[in-house]
Amino acid sequence: MLAHNQDPPRRTPLHSLHVSLGGKMVPFAGYDMPVQYPAGVLKEHLHTRTQAGLFDVSHMGQIALRPKSGKVEDAAHALERLVPQDIVAIAPGRQRYAQFTNADGGILDDLMVANFGDHLFLVVNAACKDADEAHLRANLSDDCIIDALADRALIALQGPKAEAVLAKFCAAAPAMTFMDAGPHEVAGINCFVSRSGYTGEDGFEISVPASDAERLTRMLLDNPDVLPIGLGARDSLRLEAGLCLYGHDIDTTTTPVEAGLEWSVQKSRRSGGARAGGFPGAEKILAHFDNGASRRRVGLRAEGRAPVREGALLFADSAGGEPIGKVTSGGFGPTLSAPVAMGYVPVSLSALGTKLFAEVRGQRLPLAVAAMPFVKNTYKR
């Protein structure tokens, strides 16, 4: 039973569809979400890698940032006050990965930012979306109208057959390349479509009016190449792809440099760049760029078959010694048929091949620092 002060989980516009498809529902980020369907996590994972998987990600936050001046570049300049990325350089019809940072250089949330020509479209994490909206309103209201798009669902179609499936409903899909984003018609419905995702596979994310979400989802699922995919496989897919999960691999205590996300911060915002700094925590983050950080997120491959889970302590020796780091995500990689993990270690122990040990049930299991992604991505460049 729920405590008196605990709200019941919210439901996405696709909740009844999940139940009708046999989804096993669990609470996640304040929502009732499917963790798996009757096919099971393993089959769902492998189906996405070989055909196409359909994910409900409607719990994510969708926000339009509309410039009061009418000039999208003014919204971009405003948003640069909150993120270390070059937002001004995002061309119309394109999107970019970014992070909200705090005064200590930590990450408040990670997000996607698209330029829709006359405004910016943001997708933020479910657990952070209310705080993100408040953060935007507190800092950007003088320059922008912050419009939380609560009447929209979000679905992701991922996998090597995603393009062929979506092309039947969206004429623009085949011409899109990785990180293209904008308004497009899908099955006669006005949607926002990006060629991106959270699996390492080619695919699309489709923002659709909530009233049309179930109809569109059913049309996509009618294709025999498409299976519904739950949170379980979503997590194992993103882990194999080496992608961060907010609140686990990145949080308010990690900077973008420590997290290995340097690639996401363009030169224009770094020391000596055209618009260097000017974002929260810039002093610490730019110092990490210039002088290095003391720790780093790395990939980890265990020697045995036992998965090394989140929270496992890492050691430099097989016995004795203090922990040198911690696993932030870990599990079994179905594509590799082997365990994979990510965690933070001192930079001095972050070189590929470095042998470490994870403490699992009182035993220290050997593992090695490994390259990420663990499974090669297939984005359409």
11/13 Cα distance (integer angstroms): 7
Q: Which helix (H) or strand (E) holds 213?
A: helix 210-221
Q: Which residues on neighbouring strands pair with residue 121, listed in sequence order?
A: 64, 114
Q: Please choose, from the candidates 47, 70, 28, 354, the residue with its C-alpha nearest in 3D space to the C-alpha of residue 229.
A: 47
Question: Is there a contact between 121 and 72 (Cβ–Cβ < 8 Å)?
Answer: no
B/e letters for 230-260, b = 16+ CB within 10 Å, e = fewer, are: bbbbbbbbbbbbbbbbbeebbbeebbbbbbb
Beta-sheet pairing, 226-229 with 52-56: parallel
What one-letter code names the amino acid at 214? Answer: E
Output the DSSP codes for 147-158.
Answer: EE-TTEEEEEEE
- Angle between the 231-240 and 41-50 helix axes, to the nearest 10 degrees? 50
Counting Cβ atoms within 10 Å, is residue 174 exposed (0-12), middle (13-18) or buried (19+)? exposed
Grouping H, G, I as helix, E, B as strand and the rest as coil, residue 263 is: helix
107/326 Cα distance (integer angstroms): 18
109/107 Cα distance (integer angstroms): 5
Instruction: Find out whether 205 is annotated in a ligand binding site.
Output: yes
Contacts of 214 (CB under 8 A, 6+ apart): 13, 14, 16, 17
**Residues within the annotated binding site for substrate?**
205
**Residues within the annotated binding site?**
205
